[in-house]
Structures are given as C-alpha cells and as structure tokens.
Amino acid sequence: MADDTDRRLLAAVQAGLPLVREPYRAVAERLGLDKADVMARLERLLASGAVRRIGAVPNHYRLGLVHNGMTVWDVADAEVDRLGAAVGALDFVTHCYRRPRALPLWPYNLFAMVHGRTEGEIDDKRSVIACLLGDDCRTSDMLPSTRILKKTGLRIGA
C-alpha cells in the first residue's frame, strides 16, 4: 500500500513527468527527496501495480481514432474467464472486463472496448470478436460513443 510519501510523489507526477534529461531527479528536488528514493518508490509502485505503467497517454481523437465502440457480450458464466482472456489478448482491444448483468434489460457480462478511424473499422473489430466467441456468445451489442461529455481522468489528493 502507498504511504504518505508515495501519495505525495504520485500527486506530483500524475499530471506528467518533467520533460528534462533527468526527470526523476527533478521530481526529487521539487519534493525534497533523494533521487534514488524517488526511483525506488516508483519501481515499487510499478511492481505492486499501483502504477500501471509510465509512458505516453495518447489522445485517441487527435490520432484520428474518433470512433469508439463498447462491445458487450453474453457468454456463459462458466466460460467467461477463458473467453475474456482470449478477447483481451486481441491486440486492438484496449479494455476488457467481466461485469454483472442487469437483467432483464442488460444480459451482457463481457465488455471489450474498440477504437477506430471510421465506423467501418469498429464494425470490423466487433466482427473479429464475434468470430472468436462463435457459439459461446448468446447475444451481443455494440454501443458506439457519440459524444464525450466529461473526461478528467483519475486524480488523487496529496
């Protein structure tokens, strides 16, 4: 679990790492910490999964990926983990989760997000998932997003 110094470190870098030759030294100086301590803390947070990774967060829209579809699938509960792992392994699927059904309106228990430059591209990706699931899928749908209403991302307090 993250301690107070970890949280202070994450609060300082969550908006972005300094774009300088020695970013970890710059963060350490700003927080009054030792550079080696900052690096060790980040390594530990990465190893524990509290930091998923360090890297670039692309803006899908600015890269031309203006279409996104939340594909949803109704598969047998006994098979969902096996099928979810297979769908999640497809290189174009950006998120894949098992979630509860909300019957009678919502029979779907497997969610997979796809992105594309055209509506045809997300339709094609949905078809690839449908092929992979085959007879294991009872019913499915795709909910294309039509507007981003809010996007702030995760923020933690210091």
User: Under rule CB under 8 A, which residues in 18-47 are in contact with other proteins?
Assistant: 19-25, 35, 39, 42-43, 45-46
Residue 97 CB, shortest distance to other proteins, in Å, is: 5
Cα 4 to chain center, whole Å? 25
Taking CB under 8 A as the criterion, the residue among 17, 31, 128, 132 binding other proteins is: 17
**Counting contacts by CB under 8 A, is residue 8 touching other proteins?**
no
Rounded to 5 degrees, what are φ and ψ at 37? Answer: -65, -45
Q: Are 109 and 99 in contact (CB under 8 A)?
A: yes
For 83-99, b/e burial (b = at least 16 CB within 10 A) is bbeebeeeeebeebeee
**Counting contacts by CB under 8 A, is residue 5 touching other proteins?**
no
Q: Which of residues 63-82 bind other proteins (CB under 8 A)?
A: 63, 65, 70, 80-81
32 CB-near residues (< 8 Å, 6+ apart): none
CA distance 74 to 45: 35
Residue whose CB is less far from other proteins, 24 or 126: 24
Q: Which of residues 125-154 bind other proteins (CB under 8 A)?
A: 141, 143-154
Q: Cβ of 54: how many Cβ atoms within 10 Å?
A: 11
**Which one-letter DSSP state was computed for residue 134?**
G
Taking CB under 8 A as the criterion, the residue among 31, 94, 128, 136 binding other proteins is: 94
Taking CB under 8 A as the criterion, the residue among 98, 120, 127, 138 binding other proteins is: 98
**Counting contacts by CB under 8 A, is residue 88 touching other proteins?**
yes
Residue 91 CB, shortest distance to other proteins, in Å, is: 6
